[in-house]
Every structure is written in C-alpha cells, then in structure tokens.
C-alpha cells in the first residue's frame, strides 16, 4: 500500500507545483532567474523577490521528480500482476524530464507563447497520469451493487469531460500567454455585448474561452445530475458532485480574475481549480472503468 500512498502524495504535490507555477507567471517572476538549470549560477540563490517564486518552483519540481521516482520504485514489485502500472510510471518519469526541459526552455527563450502553453499542457497531462495511478492502486472497496453498462457510460462521459477541460485549459494558457486576459475587460458581458465584435485574435480567443467554459460547466453539471439519477455508488456520486462544484467555482473565479484585472490570487486559483477539476474527472473515469462488469451480490472496486 506504500506505493498507493506515494502516488496520492504525488497528486497533491503536483497540484501544489501547478499553483506555484501559476504564481510565478502572475507575479512576473518567470525570468527572475535568468539562467537554467542554475539560478544566477548557483543552486542556492538569495531567495528574495521574484527569485523566491521562480527558484521555489524549481525546487518543488525537483522534489516531485524524487517523489515520483520513489513511487515508481515502490510500485515496481507491488504491482507485478499489472505490468501496465510500471510502464505508466516510466512514461510519467519521461514526461517529468521533458517538462523540466520545457521549464528551462521557457527561461532560455524568454517565454515564447507556445513553449509556455506547452509547459502548462504537459503539467496537466502528468497530473492526469499520476491521478490514474493513484486511483488504480487504491485499497479494495465494496460496491453495494454492480454497475453493468452504466460504468462504461460514466467512463466515457467523464473521459470526454476531462478531454474538454484539458482543451479549455490549453486555450486558457494561450489567453494568458498571448495577453488576452483583459481583451474583454468587463464581466459578465464582453465589451458591453453578449457576443462582442470578433475584430481581432485576442478578443476572439478570450470570448471563445468564456463560451467553452460556460458550455463545459453546463455539461459537467448535467453529468453530475445524471450520475445521481442512475444511483451510482457513493464514491462516484461524490466525485460527480465535486466536479460540478469545482466547475461552477472555476467559472466564477474566471470572471473574478477579469474584474480584479488579473490579480495574483484569483488567476493562480483559476489554474489550480482547472487542475483539480481535471484530476476529479480522471479519477471518476478511472474508478468507473475499474468497477467489475459481471453481476454478483457485491462488487469490488480497487480504490474509493
């Protein structure tokens, strides 16, 4: 069970790291360390001003590599009956190395929009992967009844929801890095209109992000209500409700970000909640996927 605990800590560590990364950008600390992998030629720079956030982000990223490496090592023998787990761990380690290189490239090439947005995207892909691992290696839990085809539907719908949130997050990354965050400076309307004149790419990008955000919120609320109506087991119902609560909060924080002219706390929370929402949907999909398909008086599920 140690590997399961280590995967869970990795999930929360990654969420913390994502939040810190967002703070790095929001506090304009991204180039506070002008070099990489060292900061001003040392691994122990003076932790003041922007260097504090940028170097802290790097140190916490280093901690994640160690923690995930330990989780992989623990999982290697404990999950021999399911070799895909170890293979997924190796993919995760590779992803972390690529991600760290992209972090370095954002600094070396002085924050090109596409590299910064890829850095965000890779962070979300790693989070999804480690969430699958944490969800698939949990303790056995008993379901009060079997789910049959409903399980497959929950898996498909929650996976589709996760894919939509990932896409929306990439668009959000572009909004941020192309400085389109205040292209609509008002809320809830955009330039005083329900549909603004789409005269340039920043307004179009910003408006598309708002629109997809609201559509995604309605779809995820719908999914959560449907999961309640089919009387899915409690852990799945709770995850559905959590996803609905997070998506509503996310839309509100998006508007608050605009109304506060992109203040550090709301924009950083906006990244964190997007990540939390993605992890919740991935966990929902994974738990439903792992539920037994055949009828028995009780059904067992790994994790809960």
Q: Which residues bind ligand HEM (CB under 6 A)?
A: 14, 17-18, 21-22, 24-25, 30, 36, 54, 57-58, 61, 64, 96, 99-100, 103-104, 106-107, 111, 116, 119-120, 123, 126, 165, 168-169, 172-173, 175-177, 181, 187, 209-210, 213-214, 216-217, 247, 250-251, 254-255, 257-258, 262, 267, 270-271, 274
Q: Which is nearer to ligand HEM, 107 or 151 (CB)?
A: 107
Report the 10 Å Cβ neighbour count for 200. 10
Judged on CB neighbours under 10 Å (0-12, 13-18, 19+), 94 is: exposed
Distance of closest approach, residue 251 Cβ to ligand HEM, in angstroms: 4
- What's the rounded Cα separation, in Å, for the pair 268 and 118? 17
Distance of closest approach, residue 120 Cβ to ligand HEM, in angstroms: 4
- The alpha carbon of residue 10 and the mean position of all alpha carbons in its chain are separated, in whole angstroms, by 13
Distance of closest approach, residue 298 Cβ to ligand HEM, in angstroms: 36
| Among the listed residues 267, 266, 268, 303, the one whose alpha carbon sits nearest the alpha carbon of residue 288 | 303
Q: Which is nearer to ligand HEM, 12 or 145 (CB)?
A: 12
Judged on CB neighbours under 10 Å (0-12, 13-18, 19+), 130 is: buried
184 in Cβ contact with 206 (< 8 Å): yes
Q: Which is nearer to ligand HEM, 47 or 187 (CB)?
A: 187
Distance of closest approach, residue 209 Cβ to ligand HEM, in angstroms: 5
Q: Which is nearer to ligand HEM, 168 or 286 (CB)?
A: 168
């Amino acid at each position: 069970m140690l590997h399961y605990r280590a995967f869970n800590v990795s999930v929360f560590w990654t969420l913390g790291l994502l939040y810190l990364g967002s703070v790095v950008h929001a506090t304009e600390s991204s180039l506070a360390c002008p070099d990489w992998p060292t900061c001003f030629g040392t691994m122990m720079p003076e932790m003041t001003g922007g260097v504090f956030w940028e170097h802290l982000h790097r140190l916490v990223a280093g901690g994640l590599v160690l923690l995930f490496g330990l989780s992989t090592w623990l999982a290697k023998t404990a999950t021999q009956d399911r070799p895909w787990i170890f293979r997924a761990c190796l993919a995760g380690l590779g992803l972390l190395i690529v991600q760290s290189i992209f972090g370095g490239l954002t600094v070396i090439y002085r924050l090109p929009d596409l590299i910064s947005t890829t850095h965000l995207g890779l962070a979300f892909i790693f989070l999804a992967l480690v969430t699958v691992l944490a969800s698939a290696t949990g303790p056995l839990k008993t379901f009060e009844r079997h789910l049959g085809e409903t399980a497959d539907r929950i898996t498909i719908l929650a996976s589709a929801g996760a894919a939509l949130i990932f896409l929306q997050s990439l668009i959000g990354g572009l909004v941020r890095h192309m400085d389109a965050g205040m292209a609509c400076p008002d809320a809830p309307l955009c330039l005083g209109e329900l549909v603004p004149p789409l005269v340039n790419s920043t307004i179009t990008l910003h408006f598309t992000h708002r629109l997809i955000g609201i559509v995604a919120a309605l779809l995820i609320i719908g999914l959560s209500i449907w999961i309640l109506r089919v009387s899915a087991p409690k852990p799945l119902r709770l995850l559905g409700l959590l996803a609905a609560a997070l998506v509503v909060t996310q839309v509100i924080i998006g508007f608050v970000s605009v109304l506060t002219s992109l203040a550090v706390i709301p924009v950083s929370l906006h990244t964190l909640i997007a990540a939390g929402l993605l992890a919740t949907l991935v966990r929902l999909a994974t738990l439903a996927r792992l539920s037994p398909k055949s009828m028995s008086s009780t059904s067992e599920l790994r994790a809960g």
